[in-house]
Structure 1
Amino acid sequence: MYEPIRGTSVHSTTNRTSSDFPHRSREEELDIQLAGHLAALLAVTDELRALAPADDLDIAADRLAGQVARLRAGQAPARVPVTAARADARPAGLHRRAHTLASRALVVAASRADTAVAILTAERMDAHSAALEPRELASR
């Protein structure tokens, strides 16, 4: 019914030395994961900047870009031009997405004990939460 396997498995390491394929340490894996979360948060922040420019978003974007570059050994992240706002973008949805990305980055930053990124992502979570809260004074 089944044909027997004739060759060695590509997943087997018994016939090979450990230098046949690259290994990354846990710290390197966490750096890659954290840089990805921060780069995604930066893209959403840039999109928010395009919809509603604000100084705090500019500062946050620069700080995020600096952290991504640090984690990627100096390689600058791709940036969304401020003029590239989508017509169908909703600020509330972007704030929710940014809050989610910041929380994911905070978990990874905490696991790798990166205090600077943990503080930055916690600040971004607070800022995006505040942007989503209904304005009590405006409703009165």
Structure 2
Amino acid sequence: MYEPIRTKSVHSTVDGPNPDFPHRSREEELDIQLAGHLAALLAVTDELRPLAPSADLDTAADRLTEQVTRLRGGRTPARASLTAPDSRANPAPLHQRAHALAGRALVVAASRADTAAAILAAERMDAHAAALETRELASR
């Protein structure tokens, strides 16, 4: 009724995976994903630093840089340069974005069992939630 498949699969062979096709382990994929989330969080942190200068954000940026560098095998992430803040800029959307990115990083770090990255992500989530709560209370 059906014609049999006559060509070999490009993804695998009878002997195993095709050596010409790039493969990564689950851990490598999670490392890449976690590094991406932390690098995005670093970018938002760098955007926040001129708007709401604090030692906490400076320390967080340094710790995020360390983690991304570790996950990328020694390659340091690109950093945003600090510019003069716009007096009309509202940091609340940046805190919301940072909170969401930290949450994503926490999920990946937990599935990867990366304690250092998970702790950092959880601390950043708490810090950005507190900043949002403070802004909300101040606007009342």
> Any conservation in 2 of the 1:47–1:85 contact (CA below 8 Å)?
no
The CA RMSD over aligned residues, in Å, is: 2.8
Which secondary structure does the structure 1 equivalent of 2:19 belong to? helix
The aligned counterpart of 1:83 is 83
The aligned counterpart of 1:45 is 45
Is the alpha carbon distance of 1:138 and 1:34 closer, same or farther for their aligned partners in structure 2, counting shifts above 3 Å?
closer
Which secondary structure does the structure 2 equivalent of 1:78 belong to? coil
CA distance in 2: counterparts of 1:113 and 1:47, whole angstroms: 29
TM-score for the superposition, normalised by structure 2:
0.83
CA distance in 2: counterparts of 1:107 and 1:60, whole angstroms: 19
Q: Which segments of 5 or more consecutive residues in structure 2 lack a partner in the other structure?
A: 1-6
CA distance in 1: counterparts of 2:17 and 2:139, whole angstroms: 68
Q: Which segments of 5 or more consecutive residues in structure 1 lack a partner in the other structure?
A: 1-7
**Offset at residue 138 of structure 1 (A):** 5.2
CA distance in 1: counterparts of 2:107 and 2:138, whole angstroms: 34
Between stretches 123-132 and 88-97, larger displacement belongs to 88-97
TM-score for the superposition, normalised by structure 1:
0.83
Moved over 3 A (4+): 8-17, 84-89, 134-140
Counterpart amino acid of 2:68? V
CA distance in 1: counterparts of 2:88 and 2:12, whole angstroms: 50
Is the alpha carbon distance of 1:23 and 1:94 closer, same or farther for their aligned partners in structure 2, counting shifts above 3 Å?
same
Question: 2:64 aligned with 1:64, yes or no?
Answer: yes
The aligned counterpart of 1:126 is 126
**Offset at residue 17 of structure 1 (A):** 5.7
Cα deviation 1:120-140 (Å, max 9, x = unaligned): 010000000000114698579
**Offset at residue 33 of structure 1 (A):** 0.1
Which secondary structure does the structure 2 equivalent of 1:94 belong to? helix
